[in-house]
Structure 1
Amino acid sequence: MGAHIWMAVAAGGAVGAVGRNAVSRAAMHFLGPNFPWGTLAVNVLGSFAMGFFIVWLAHREPASPALRAFLTVGLLGAFTTFSTFSLDAVTLYRDRTLMVAGVYVLASVILSVGGLFAGLAAGRQVL
């Protein structure tokens, strides 16, 4: 991978991270802290944006690898990883079967939440 791809990912990541922070702060301000509205918002918006950009990039083929990396890995990867998860699930459903997509979705959710609990437990052991 060339240096220009790394720079595109880094630039997109910076923009995505700032965007996620802004949405999270706005959601907290307007909707309160009793529900993860910011996370829900960035996940839904990020998934929508991933779908939009994938179609847009497909119509621009051959799309610049740097532009693709900036938008998908950098920007949306930092804004939310849920957009990539959503794209993977839909692609599995489209290219394979509902069962394969369902196993991926269940495994992703269960293992991710399990990983969070394991990290919490490990952190508590260290502190």
Structure 2
Amino acid sequence: MKLLFVMIGGFFGAICRFALSEWIHTNNEFPLATLLINESGCFLLGWFLTFVSQLRKIRPEFTLLVGTGFIGSFTTFSTFSMETLSLIQSGFIFMAFFYVLTSTVLGILLAYAGYHFAIAKREK
């Protein structure tokens, strides 16, 4: 049954990622769509896991559906890795470095912001 929840969440997360990447798609070399998708996923997961941990009556399947399934398939480390490699192979070393640095540092900051957003909403 747990697998079903992950599959359902993953199905919708992958569709949302695809739709957003098509909508955000740019013609330049920088992978803006993946950056924005992954960073929003960092914020959402930080918020969601904090919010759920504060509630005592949430079923674990809900966390699997949204956290593991939806947000897990919405974000994509493999695409980030391949786009970074492509930037390096194309000679855009500085852009690749900027992409990695921005993705990791901003991702951690946004996860932290999501955590604090959930805490602040709970305290009100």
Query: Shorter-chain TM-score: what band?
Result: 0.5 to 0.7
Answering whether residue 43 of structure 2 is matched by residue 48 of structure 1, we say: yes
How many residues are matched? 82
Report the CA distance shift for 1:60/1:46 in structure 2 as closer, same or farther (over 3 A).
same
Distance between the aligned counterparts of 1:22 and 1:33, measured in 2? 19
Q: Is 1:64 paired with 2:59? A: yes
**Alpha-carbon distance in structure 2 between the residues aligned to 1:56 and 1:18:** 24
Runs of 4+ aligned residues of structure 1 deviating over 6 Å after TM superposition are: none
Which ranges of structure 1 fall in alignment gaps of 5 or more residues?
A: 83-108, 118-127
Are 1:10 and 2:11 an aligned pair?
no
Structure 2 segments unaligned to the other structure (5+ residues)? 87-124
SS of the equivalent of 1:63 reads: coil
Q: State the Cα deviation string for residues 60-113 of structure 1 (Å, max 9, x = none).
A: 12421110101111001100155xxxxxxxxxxxxxxxxxxxxxxxxxx9xx67
Determine the structure 2 residue equivalent to 1:21.
Answer: 18
Q: TM-score, normalised by structure 2?
A: 0.58
Distance 2:32 2:76 in 1: 16
Do 1:23 and 1:41's aligned partners in 2 also have CA atoms closer than 8 Å?
A: no
Matched residue SS, 2:58: coil
Question: Closer, same or farther in 2 for the Cα pair 1:33/1:25, shift >3 Å?
Answer: farther
For 1:31-67, what per-residue CA distance to the aligned partner results, in whole angstroms no more than 9, with x for missing partners? 4342111100111000000011011101212421110
TM-score (norm 1): 0.57
Larger Cα-atom Rg: 1
Amino acid at match of 2:44: A
8 A contact 1:13–1:78 mirrored in 2: yes
